[in-house]
Amino acid sequence: MLLIDAHAHLNDKSFQTDIDVVVKNADDVGIKVIINAGTSPQTNKETLILAKKYNIIKPALGLHPTDCVKLTIEQITKELKFIEKNKQKIIAIGEIGLDYHWHKQTKEHEKQKKAFNELLKLAEKLNKPVFIHTRSAVDDSLEILKKYKLKVILHSFGGAKKQIHEAIKQGYYFSIPTSIVRSTHFQELAKLVPLSKILTETDCPYLGPKKQERNEPSNIIYSIKTLAEIKGITEKELANQVFLNYQNLF
C-alpha cells in the first residue's frame, strides 16, 4: 500500500533516541511521505534538519498560534523571512491558524489573527498549500481563509457539523488523525467528508490509536482500516485514493 502521514512532529523530544527505528517502521508498512510540521522558529529549523536526513520526511514550516502569542512582532517577521528563504525546500506552510482554547484574551486573538493573515499571504505568494490548526476558533478561521486563494488542509478538525459542511463547500481538505479509531467525532467527520478530500495523519507524538501511547507514522495503517470501513471500500482502495489526494495537493 502507498500510505501518507500528512502531519507529524518527529522533531519532538520523545523521538530523540529512536527516530531511526520510527522512520524504518513507517517505511516497513508502506508510508511514502511523512510531512513534518514546524510550529516555531526552533522546530522549523529542526524540521529542515530532519528532512535533510530522511528522504521520506518532507518539511512544512509555520508558526503555531500558541507560539505566535509568545513571539514579538519582530520575531514573527523574522520567521516569515526564514520560511520564504527556504521556499524551495518546503512542501507547505503549516502548521498555522488560531487557538482560542488555550488563549482567551482578545489581545491574544488579535495577535494570532495578524500573524495568521501574514502567513496566509506568504503561502499565496509562494503558491504553497496550508495546514490549518483551529481550536475553539473555527468561525474566525474559516472567515479569514475565505479571503485567500489557497489549497487548504484542515488538520485534526474539531468543528461542528455546520462548520464541517461550510469547509466542504469551500473545497477544503481534511487531514484526519489516527485517533479516529477511538474518536466518534473523527468517525463522524470521515462520514461527511468526500473521499476525494481526505488525507491521513498522525499528529504524532499526539492523537494515537491508544490514548496514553506515543503515536508514530506507522500507525497510519489503523486509520486506513477504520476509514475503509466507514467508506465501505477496501483498505487498498482507500489508501490509493488518499495517495491520489496527496498528489493532487502537492
- Cell numbers for 88: 524551495
By CB under 5 A, name the one of 203, 207, 242, 243 that touches Zn ion.
203
Segment near Zn ion (CB under 5 A); pick from 41-49, 134-142, 196-204, 225-233: 196-204
Q: Which residue has the cell 494570532?
A: 112
For residue 236, the minimal CB distance to Zn ion (Å) is: 28
Task: Name which of 9 and 197 has its Cβ closer to Zn ion.
Answer: 9
For residue 41, the minimal CB distance to Zn ion (Å) is: 16
CA distance 187 to 207: 14
**DSSP 8-state symbol, 186:** H
CA distance 78 to 118: 12
CA distance 129 to 235: 26
- Cell numbers for 239: 489508501
Query: Rounded to 10 degrees, what is the CA torsion of 168, 123, 206, 45?
Result: 170
Task: Name which of 64 and 111 has its Cβ closer to Zn ion.
Answer: 64
Task: Name which of 7 and 197 has its Cβ closer to Zn ion.
Answer: 7
- Give the residue ranges of DSSP H helices in the chain: 19-29, 41-53, 65-70, 73-85, 106-126, 138-145, 161-169, 184-192, 220-231, 235-249
Q: Is 216 in the site for Zn ion (CB under 5 A)?
A: no
Query: One-letter amino acid identity for 96?
Result: I
Task: Name which of 185 and 231 has its Cβ closer to Zn ion.
Answer: 185
Compute how many residues bind Zn ion; rule: CB under 5 A. 1
Segment near Zn ion (CB under 5 A); pick from 13-21, 137-145, 197-205, 236-244: 197-205
Segment near Zn ion (CB under 5 A); pick from 77-85, 117-125, 187-195, 199-207: 199-207
Segment near Zn ion (CB under 5 A); pick from 17-25, 42-50, 180-188, 195-203: 195-203
**Binding track over 126-165 against Zn ion, x by CB under 5 A:** ----------------------------------------
Of 35, 43, 58, residue with least CA distance to 12? 43
Task: State the residues that interact with Zn ion by CB under 5 A.
Answer: 203
